[in-house]
Structure 1
Amino acid sequence: MTVDVILPCLNEEAALGWVLGRMPRGYRPIVVDNGSTDRSAEVARSLGARVISEPVRGFGAACHSGLLAATSDLVCFMDADASLDPRRLPEVASAVLDGRSDLVLGRRVPSASGAWPPHARLANAVLAADLRRRTGASLHDLGPMRAARRVALLDLELTDRRFGYPLEMVLRAAAAGWRIAEVEVDYLPRAGRSKVTGTVRGTLRAISDMRRVMAEVKPS
């Protein structure tokens, strides 16, 4: 079967060749250009990816535009910055494909020193602990590589269009009774500087968005 892979993208020209070149057979990349000022869109098209434009800036805006553009039954999400290897996508998707889980997240395991800055890793660990208490799901990471059924995701009616989008997905899925699991995936040093984990300011901005989502989405 064909699986659409949604790749939110902001100035990832340097990483896209590696990412798209390692896409597994049957996994169809949808690159969502979120206002890039480099050649990201042209590079993605030249490598055979479907490219759509989302002018409203925001990680969630890009992810949701990709979800709306997807047509496959199963969809995956992952970053376009070469911090995650597309060849791990089948492992993340397998439990959804065979009906064991409804949402699977890739639990990031740093493969090299510096792949995951300490301030970002600590913030993620605190968030994951809150998620375990709130949802009962055995989660240790709010990883960006994930898989779920497209129509079911649309039915969650996600509203956040910033950095809270991945968290809202998990919270609403848990409230809907979804079976949520995680699979370990390598976390690699990304190409270029991260918009979130690369700076303390970016991490704090993401935390602010996620706190807002935590307050808005009530437990089931």
Structure 2
Amino acid sequence: MIDVVLPCLDEAAALPLVLAGLPDGYRAIVADNGSTDGSAHVARAHGALVVHVPQRGFGAAAHAGLLAATSEVVCFADADGSFDLAQLPLVADPVRDGTADLVLGRRRPNTAGAWPTHARLANAVLAWRMRTRLRLPIHDLGPMRAARRERLLALNLTDRRFGYPLEMIVAAARAGWRVREVDVAYAPRAEGTRSKVTGTVLGTARAIRDMSKVLAR
């Protein structure tokens, strides 16, 4: 069994289809970060383990899900319908077979509107900084990802906002981990949901601010 951490804030409209795509041998852990739209109820109704996370912040939800996980290998993905969870083995298998320590899903949009231009450019700049500063062969910060749980916990990640995903990559690189990318499909968010990060310029700016703090440490 592989646990899949899905940080969640008001994703009730997306969760049924997201969870329906979960492959055999994978368990969803929905880390609910204060949803008011019934996301927790929907997640339970579709077989997910729900973890309530009162501390607001993407990193707080992601880390709470990691703490709740019990599998040796843990995956992360967004809960907004932009990822097909059937592709989780693409990121999990290299970790399971020992050929990589952290695998990031490089997003390949399947429609022109799946990834807003401002968000894609911000991601490209941050990935470029990872390549030049840490010599990592990556082109995307990869919200769908996988690594071994105990090794992730040993990184002692502290960011509880939008800097958490980047902090994970930076800490892994500094610890000498083998980091690699695999291509995964990327679709528009599910209808009826709203983006907390990439859907608006302001959200993207907040994410860049948090990630820049990580890089400045």
TM-score for the superposition, normalised by structure 1: 0.97
CA distance in 1, matches of 2:200, 2:182: 27
CA distance in 1, matches of 2:73, 2:199: 31
Residue by residue, what CA displacement relative to the aligned partner does 1:37-87 show, whole Å, maximum 9, x if unpaired? 101000000111000100010000000000001000000000000001100
* Equivalent runs, 1:201-212 vs 2, <5 Å: 201-212=202-213
Look up the equivalent residue of 2:161 and give its one-letter code.
R
CA RMSD of aligned residues (A): 0.5
CA distance in 2, matches of 1:166, 1:133: 18
- 1:34, distance to aligned residue in structure 2 (A): 0.1
CA distance in 2, matches of 1:52, 1:212: 28
2:116 aligns with 117
1:215 aligns with 216
CA distance in 1, matches of 2:162, 2:147: 19
Q: Is there any run of 5+ residues in structure 2 with no aligned partner, and where?
A: none
2:31 aligns with 32
- 1:193, distance to aligned residue in structure 2 (A): 2.2
Q: Is there any run of 5+ residues in structure 1 with no aligned partner, and where?
A: none
Look up the equivalent residue of 1:144 and give its one-letter code.
P
CA distance in 1, matches of 2:44, 2:35: 14
CA distance in 1, matches of 2:30, 2:74: 13
2:11 aligns with 12
CA distance in 2, matches of 1:98, 1:136: 24
CA distance in 2, matches of 1:135, 1:186: 26
2:54 aligns with 55
Aligned length: 215
Percentage of pairs with the same residue: 66
Residue by residue, what CA displacement relative to the aligned partner does 1:120-165 show, whole Å, maximum 9, x if unpaired? 0001001100001122111000011000000000000000000000
TM-score for the superposition, normalised by structure 2: 0.98
CA distance in 2, matches of 1:211, 1:19: 30
CA distance in 1, matches of 2:176, 2:51: 32
Look up the equivalent residue of 1:110 and give its one-letter code.
P
Extract structure 1 runs of 4+ deviating beyond 4 A: none
* Equivalent runs, 1:1-220 vs 2, <5 Å: 2-191=1-190, 192-216=193-217
CA distance in 1, matches of 2:19, 2:117: 28
